[in-house]
Amino acid sequence: MAAGQEGPRARYREQTRSEIKDTALRQLAESGAGALALTRVAKEMGLSGPALYRYFAGRDDLLSALIRDAYDDAAAAVADAAAGAEEAGQNPRARLHALGGAYRTWAAAEPHRYLLIQGAPVPGYVAPDDTRDRARAVLGPFLPLFTDGSPGASVSALVTEMEAWLAADAGVAEWVARYVSDTRRSAYGLAGAVLVWAQLHGSVGLETAGQFTRMGHRGDTLLAAQLDLLADAFTLD
């Protein structure tokens, strides 16, 4: 009997957690992460403050759940773009644009969620360790794009550093190996992915923060130019 009742209870708990997260996201979009508080979320939902602590241990626990969801959705957007590009038979340069564009589209549609994963959402917040794997899932599909390239002089020093990192960090090597079959070119893929990460956060971060307002370019135009420069640096087709 107890086992039969566990299903509905678990579903109710998950539904309530989802509603709490949805309410928190609305507040984030309106006021930013600094204004997020469980008491405010509880008030909007018509619950008591202590009731919410049955679902989240505190504000940081709620933030961590929102950050995990954001990384997972960003990773899904990039993975879907990678699958579509592969099905279409696109070359590495075109795939790079497809994946980068998918990431920007996701971030531009929900900037409040992107800003959660750009850096520490509130002073003193420390993200849990498992968010690192979720961040790597976002970058993973970019890794194989650079393995068929030929890194030029401008990125050779970074490739050398990535070779040393792969040799020293088994966790990074394992992550890269899930996407890159030719271990001799793993450092190419890792260097490219790190540069993509820097380019995406630079361009997309400025755009979502509103820094391009009243400037004469579009965000997608700037990102496309940056990705082309990166493709040139690796001599991608």
Is residue 2 in some structural domain? Answer: no
Question: Which pLDDT belongs to residue 3?
Answer: 45
Task: Give the mean model confidence (pLDDT) for residues 14-23.
Answer: 93
For the chain, what is the mean pLDDT?
Answer: 92
- In the three-class reduction of DSSP (H, G, I as helix; E, B as strand; rest coil), residue 36 is classed as coil
In a domain, 182, yes or no: yes
Residue 44 lies in a domain: no
Decide if 16 is inside a domain.
no
Residues in the chain: 237
pLDDT at residue 166, rounded to an integer? 97
Is residue 9 scored above 60 in pLDDT?
yes
Residue 144 corresponds to which tokens in the numbers above?
């194989």
Cα–Cα distance, 165 to 135 (Å, whole number): 18
Query: Could you report the per-residue pLDDT of 88-123, keeping only the tens digit for each?
Result: 999 999 999 999 999 999 999 999 899 888 877 778
The domain of 121 spans 57-233
Q: Which residues contact 136 (CB under 8 A, 6 or more apart)?
A: 175
Domain count, the chain: 1
Predicted model pTM: 0.90
Across 5-14, 95-104, 173-182, least confident range: 5-14
- What's the CATH number where 133 sits? 1.10.357.10
Residue 141 lies in a domain: yes
Contact in structure between 191 and 142 (CB atoms under 8 Å): no
In a domain, 32, yes or no: no
For residue 2, the model assigns a pLDDT of: 45
Task: Say whether pLDDT at 47 is over 50.
Answer: yes
115 or 164, greater pLDDT: 164
User: Which whole number is the average pLDDT over 51-79?
Assistant: 93
